[in-house]
């Protein structure tokens, strides 16, 4: 089983990263702030303006440690990766499948898993907070989502599937606010808003969806799959469509539950956000630091994978799913098994 190495998150916009031997050194105005051996890292994620030295980029490419760049406010900029050693036959199969009707079955299974996991989050939330939420309203959404899940199984084309996915997502998000039981005046959630996020909870979701997409893209590249050639999301320049496909099944379990816990356990509050002139809410420097520290802690939690039946660190979930997709493309297994919450 793959070892869960560390992700180095650089959240201070004034930090600069450079190479020192086989180490990553973080500096601020020439002063050393930290030193990390390259062999303990699986990825570097930068939210800084100052950047990274060319020598360090070269080392990271040689050691297959991708460097991903976001703006200080969480907008994805790009990724530096080393040479790909993927199996060309696997990629050819991926491209053929992406252009064929056979990819509909994979996409259906992914979206079914997304609906299943989203519904599971609502069911658990209804049980955990039955004294504080509108139980009837949540149950109506749960029941409606189950009906639409039956429709997914018989869906005949991707356009229809995208429509069904949209309906299920709206049902889910229409009651997600009920699961926010603390700090409700500061973390209300009316509807999903993305570009830009128009409230604090949307800001959390957008930030960590981007983080999860980046981690999944890196996991796909690690097994030789093209992260840009997906089965469900339409192709677009610069869009990691396969990574976006795969995070659909993980969003509710990995990100939504995590963001709810940040708020409900008072680990983050309104002081950790700023509001831009256009009304957008964004995590500030301290907010990113706190949230990413909690994200790293959660990555160490163990779960039992429903398909492999092995205990894995939660942070390895994108890597396990990437390995399963690779096994499917290589025809080692008959179908790709999307992640579905247990319990």
Residue 119: give its domain's CATH number. Answer: 1.20.120.920
* pLDDT tens, residue by residue, 162-183: 999 999 999 999 999 999 999 8
Q: What are phi and psi of 181, to 5 degrees?
A: -110, -5
* pLDDT tens, residue by residue, 15-60: 899 999 999 999 988 899 899 999 988 788 887 767 899 999 999 9
* Residues 292 and 150 grouped into a single domain: yes
Range of the domain at 232: 88-329
Q: What's residue 310's pLDDT?
A: 85
Cα dihedral sign, 94-99-104-107: positive
Is 290 part of any domain? yes
Q: Is the confidence at residue 261, as pLDDT, over 90?
A: yes
Q: What percent of the chain has pLDDT over 70?
A: 96
Q: Give alpha helix (H) positions in 44-134.
A: 54-62, 88-98, 103-128
Is 335 part of any domain? no
- To which residue do tokens 């050393």 refer? 32
Q: What's residue 80's pLDDT?
A: 83
* Residues 191 and 300 grouped into a single domain: yes
Cα dihedral sign, 272-212-139-306: negative
* Residues 57 and 155 grouped into a single domain: no
Of 2-6, 11-15, 133-137, 240-244, where does mean pLDDT reach its minimum? 2-6
Q: Is the confidence at residue 228, as pLDDT, over 70?
A: yes
Q: What CA–CA distance (Å, rounded) separates 318 from 218?
A: 9
Angle at 273 between CA 267 and CA 278, to 5 degrees: 150
Q: Is the confidence at residue 81, as pLDDT, over 90?
A: no
The whole model's pTM is what? 0.83
* Residues 153 and 210 grouped into a single domain: yes
**Which tokens hold the place of 294?**
């909690």
Is 341 part of any domain? no
* Residues 21 and 101 grouped into a single domain: no
Q: What CA–CA distance (Å, rounded) separates 166 from 170?
A: 6
* Residues 121 and 218 grouped into a single domain: yes
CATH number for the domain including 76?
3.100.10.20
Number of domains in the chain: 2
Q: What CA–CA distance (Å, rounded) separates 231 from 244?
A: 10
Is 237 part of any domain? yes
């Amino acid at each position: 089983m793959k070892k869960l190495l560390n992700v180095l998150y650089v959240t201070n916009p004034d930090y600069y990263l450079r190479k020192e031997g086989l180490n990553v050194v973080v500096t601020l105005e020439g002063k050393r702030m930290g030193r990390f051996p390259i062999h303990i890292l699986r990825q570097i994620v930068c939210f800084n303006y100052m950047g990274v030295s060319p020598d360090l980029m070269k080392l990271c490419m040689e050691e297959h440690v991708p460097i991903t760049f976001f703006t200080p406010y969480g907008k994805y900029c790009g990724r530096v990766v080393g040479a790909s050693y993927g199996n060309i036959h696997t990629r050819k199969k991926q491209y053929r499948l992406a252009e064929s009707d056979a990819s509909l079955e994979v996409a259906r299974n992914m979206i079914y898993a997304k609906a299943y996991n989203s519904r599971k989050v609502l069911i658990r939330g209804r049980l955990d907070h039955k004294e504080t939420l509108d139980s009837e309203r949540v149950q109506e959404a749960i029941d409606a989502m189950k009906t639409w899940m039956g429709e997914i199984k018989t869906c005949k084309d991707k356009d229809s599937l995208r429509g069904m996915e949209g309906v299920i997502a709206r049902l889910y998000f229409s009651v997600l606010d009920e699961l926010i039981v603390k700090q409700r005046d500061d973390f209300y959630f009316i509807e999903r808003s993305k570009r830009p996020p128009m409230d604090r909870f949307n800001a959390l979701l957008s930030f960590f969806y981007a983080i999860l997409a980046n981690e999944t893209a890196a996991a796909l590249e690690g097994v030789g799959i093209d992260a840009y050639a997906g089965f469900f999301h339409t192709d677009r320049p610069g869009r990691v469509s396969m990574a976006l496909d795969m995070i659909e099944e993980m969003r509710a379990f990995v990100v939504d539950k995590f963001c709810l816990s940040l708020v409900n356990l008072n680990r983050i509050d309104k002081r950790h956000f700023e509001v831009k002139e256009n009304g957008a809410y964004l995590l500030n420097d301290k907010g990113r630091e706190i949230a990413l520290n909690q994200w790293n802690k959660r990555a160490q939690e163990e779960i039992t994978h429903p398909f492999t039946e092995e205990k894995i660190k939660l942070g390895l979930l994108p890597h396990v799913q990437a390995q399963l997709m690779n096994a499917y493309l290589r025809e080692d297994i008959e179908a790709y098994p999307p992640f579905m919450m247990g319990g």
